[in-house]
Structure 1
Amino acid sequence: MHLQDLKLTQFKNYASQRLELAAGLNCFVGPNGAGKTNLLEGIHFLCMGKSFSTNPDAYGIRHGDDGTRIEGHFHHPESGETDKIVVKVQKRKRKVIERNGAAYERMAEHVGRYPVVVIAPDDSNLVLEGSETRRRLLDNSLSQSDPTYLSELIKYNKLLANRNSLLKELEGRPDVTGLIAIYNEQMAEPAAYIHACRAAFVRPFTQLLTEAYAVISGQQEEVNVTYKSQLTDISWADLTADRAEKDRLLQRTTGGIHKDDLVFTQEGHPLRRVASQGQLKSFVLSLKLAQYRLLEKVTQRLPILLLDDIFDKLDRDRVSQLLNYVLSASFGQVFLSDTDPDRVTALIDAAEGNRWKRFLVKAGRVTEANATP
């Protein structure tokens, strides 16, 4: 599977732009602020129906316009079929995603059809920030490989929001309506399913992480991932009963799978405390490459890989190790952005036989510079 073309209309800093893409490596080169990341965001919209940032969809609309349209064609070599995907976002209107001219009734139906993995400069937050960033990694991976997981996650989050709203309305008073008990019962099944999926995810993910880390870092430190969840040692019914008084006083749900976390260690110690800058960068890259390989294994498709300005955060040796790994290890379509017009070409000169294109990006305009046949 690969994306054949990309057409942006009133998206970010692009009035109108269409690109014919290589099935292998695509390089977007230009100064900061030119719109390189916006191209990657457009591709991610086509794959996932949303940006890879946490910004609302409306942030994708070009300043001064009322809506944006993103279009692309995904080709499946195995079947010879091509899917036309269109994403439409308008201010104060519901987002529309179309596949071959038909709009999805539910956005969740689109997730997982075109798997994608992003490696971005702020990925170090996966180690350094709070548990929410690591749950997003879990949810992003599992939602793309298991439609039921995404459905149960949406259900759980909606019930959680309703439960929290009720707790705030009660303002610390006891619930005499019985609604809290009803929410507890309704949340039990999705919580159990999500917990089981996350627990099963960690072992194969850790194995792939270890393999990628050895390649990227060239080092032999032992790294590990542990799944931390309140539901590992206690049932949902017991957890909600134990937390009932605390929830009432704090006016929010203090226990559940929305508190899950991934614990990263190096040689048995917390990674964030003992890892050097180089080890941290290698680990974060390995996390995303492990996600890629696990998605490939589960979906039986090569995901699209987006590399956003990785050169600015990594030393040259580490970048070379990453690109050599990506270009020689049966990866699918790859998109990367950089500020140096010569650096990308120099790094991929050794990757003979790979089909690639280089695009120059300047002030919201893109031109194709050169390509391999």
Structure 2
Amino acid sequence: MNMTAPRHLSGRSARGAALVSALAAVCLLAAGCSLSGGSESGNDAAPAGQAGTPRLKVALITHSAPGDVFWELVQKGAQAAAAKDNIDLTYTNDPDAAGQADLVRDAVANQVDGIAVTLAKPDAMKSAVAQAEAAGIPVVGLNSGIDAWQSAGLLEYFGQDESVAGQAVGDKLDDYKVKHVLCVIHEQGNVALEARCAGVKKTFGGETENLYVNGADPDVAAEAIAARVQQDPSIDEVVTNTASFALAAVQSVKEAGSKAGIATFDVNADLVKAVQQGTVQFAVDQQPYLQGYLAVDSVWLYKTNGNLSGGGEAPVLTGPAFVTKENVAAVAGFAAKGTR
């Protein structure tokens, strides 16, 4: 994929170099997972949907709110892996951390063979995850909790380093000659969203301020964005943390009479169209389909072979990568079929 690499990843720090290596590893892993026929050596492999191993029960449990297209992509990837690996997959979600923890406990009571879970609010999940581990159920993480998965006792983690992603956006905004950024957080206390905006502030040369909105009510959130940019005409960029809010921000900024640009974290098919049309300047893609796929597949690999991606010591990174008007054509087809 012809994705534009974040500028600071080219050698600014050892951490950036590690990200590049990890991204390369993801590409190799994803390519290996796509094989469903025989290998070049002539050894036969089980076709897709016929892993030839005992059927496993795996629970995917996220902090998603209902109706979020991003999580539909995560589920789609998870379902593809489940079909390949002969897995009986159940998906449940609750944006309330206590409710999500209860869903983990339910999965333990149902004696699943593995759990894939997000850690948007890690402290609230520790007890439930510990209960699963005490029951001998392997637990892997995805999407949220990159700084907490090891301390929580998870075996592996698949996702984006949100701090690195935010820093990359900060650098990108400097390239766009932006002076004042409004970073919109639609779920207060979500460690991933906080890390993104903190990352932007760390590298961006201008002024950064956070705006907390009620993500459960998109109309109220859109009104809050419009009100803030109208109050302060110096705001020349709005950065959102999900594609749906980016699209809403386009309209909010227009209605407020502001000329602020729009950028966002995360991608969906409608957002890709907005980048093509130029109403959204760029997006950061963390590849949710890949996160769901790798998380579920990792449970099968661990239960079947004892494999641990990253050796159980390092996260497997699925992003960040920029989607801009210059490279969006390479992404559009995949976004249309729901894999990007």
| TM-score normalised per structure 1 | 0.25
Q: Which has the higher contact order (CA 8 A, sep 6+)?
A: 1
Name the structure with the higher strand share. Answer: 1
